[in-house]
Amino acid sequence: MTTNGSKDPVSEHNRELWNSGLDSDKDTVRKQKRKLSYYANIYVVQDKANPQNEGRVFLYKFGKKIFDKLMEAMQPEFPDDPQINPFDMWEGANFKLKIRKVDGYWNYDKSEFDSKSQLKSTDDELEAIYKKTHSLNDFIAPSNFKTYDELKTRLDAVLSGTVATKTAAAMVDEEEVPFTPSFKNEAPAPMASVDAVEDDAMSYFEKLANE
């Protein structure tokens, strides 16, 4: 429920465990912590491995590494660095996704933005692309979340051992695993996050959406 900034029983339970002072409780929290994911619409300019994807709009799920690169582009650390809004179809920039295996994990450190450019030469082409974007509202719609009381009842049942299907650790996201890129050409224009996001980042994206 922290996706929408609401109280969440599992997060509260984790906080109690973390503050207990026991290393074993901290290990438990690490195993059942939230997994941070982001979703955005993307337009594939070039994909040599899968050329059939080129020129298409997809719903793209990604992790914190790529999100940080987006934020660095939009809110550069140094004044002389160029400021880029990647979602601006007129003055944005292509993102070069470069993936390597480092120590057995996917690594995105080499990914970078190209120089600013217009995505397509005419407004009609840009409008056609925009019309293919997916709504992201379903990811944060309150109707798609259980209530606090429902989640608390479920958590209490699991912790008390009255539910034999899954443990509490299995009910929540385990430690973040290496992120594998995935494209989805199905339901969900501006970017939204799916888990707890820093207030300043969310405010920034809300500002972009309103513009």
Residue percentage of the chain with pLDDT more than 90? 48
Give residue limits of the domains in the chain: 2-201
pTM, whole model, 2 decimals?
0.66
Confidence class for position 17, pLDDT limits 50, 70, 90? very high
Confidence class for position 195, pLDDT limits 50, 70, 90? very low
User: Tokens in use for 57?
Assistant: 């709009």
What confidence tens digit (pLDDT) does each residue in 128-138 have? 999 999 988 88
What confidence tens digit (pLDDT) does each residue in 74-121 have? 999 898 888 999 889 999 999 999 989 898 888 889 999 999 999 998
**Domain made up of 2-201: CATH architecture:** Alpha-Beta Complex (3.90)
Q: What is the pLDDT of residue 203?
A: 55
Q: Helix (H, G, I), strand (E, B), or coil: what is residue 115? A: strand
User: Tokens in use for 13?
Assistant: 């339970």
Average pLDDT over residues 30-43: 89
- Pairwise CA distance, residues 83 & 76, whole Å: 6
- Pairwise CA distance, residues 142 & 80, whole Å: 41
Nearest to 195 by CA among 45, 28, 82, 61: 61
Q: What is the pLDDT of residue 104?
A: 87
